[in-house]
Amino acid sequence: KPFRIAIVGRPNVGKSTLFNTLSKTRKALVERSPGVTRDRVYAQAEIADRKVTLIDTGGLLPGDEDQFAREIFAQAKKALKEADLILFVVDGQAGITPVDEELASFLHKLEKPVIVLVNKLDGPRLDQVLSDFYALGFDEVVGISAKHKRNLDELEEVMAKYL
């Protein structure tokens, strides 16, 4: 069985951008409006010389009664169930939101390895916020910019520990 890495997080944090960057494809739909990636999207990728399957998901929105949000939450839950490693993407420019906190407690219950990816750290000035995200309760916190391909080497190193 291939090693499966699920990319989850609330809408618009940059999951699909990261998926496209890591898989070197343009499979995922990147949009300014939240919640665009409805279904799970799979891609094969090579990380630290290992073949892995990346799974992009729609944004997780726990507790949202809207039908569309419920559907993407269900898809993301399936992806989490089949994942060996979880990349929990948050927005470094927005800070921790209540939805991030809800997601964090949901992910803690899964007892699977989780890397918190603080995305949108486009320049060194933004790196100061990184330590704030340890409050989510996970040991691995990595700051990146998926859009500007910043710090992806460190991300690969941290992922390699779990492959």
Residues that bind Mg ion (CB under 5 A): 15-16, 37
Site for ligand GDP in 41-60 (CB under 6 A): 59
Residue numbers belonging to the annotated binding site: 9-16, 56-60, 119-122
Q: Least distance from C-beta 150 to Mg ion, angstroms? A: 19
Residue 37 contacts ligand GDP per CB under 6 A: yes
Residue 120 contacts ligand GDP per CB under 6 A: yes
Binding residues with ligand GDP: total (CB under 6 A): 21
How far is the first Cα of the chain from the last one, in angstroms, to the nearest whole number? 12
Q: Least distance from C-beta 135 to ligand GDP, angstroms? A: 21
Nearest to 13 by CA among 76, 94, 128, 115: 94
Nearest to 112 by CA among 1, 2, 3: 3
Binding site partner of 122, from ligand GDP, Mg ion, none, Cβ cut-off 5-8 A by kind: ligand GDP
- Identify whether the C-beta of residue 41 lies closer than 8 Å to the C-beta of residue 28: yes
Residue 17 contacts ligand GDP per CB under 6 A: yes
- Applying CB under 6 A, among 4, 25, 30, 64 the residue interacting with ligand GDP is 30
Nearest to 39 by CA among 68, 4, 2, 3: 68
Q: Least distance from C-beta 57 to ligand GDP, angstroms? A: 8
CA dist 114 and 70 (Å) reads 23
- Cα 98 to chain centroid distance, Å, stands at 17
Site for ligand GDP in 56-115 (CB under 6 A): 59
Nearest to 18 by CA among 159, 128, 163: 159
Residue ranges that bind ligand GDP, judged by CB under 6 A: 9, 11-17, 30-32, 34, 37, 59, 119-120, 122, 145-148
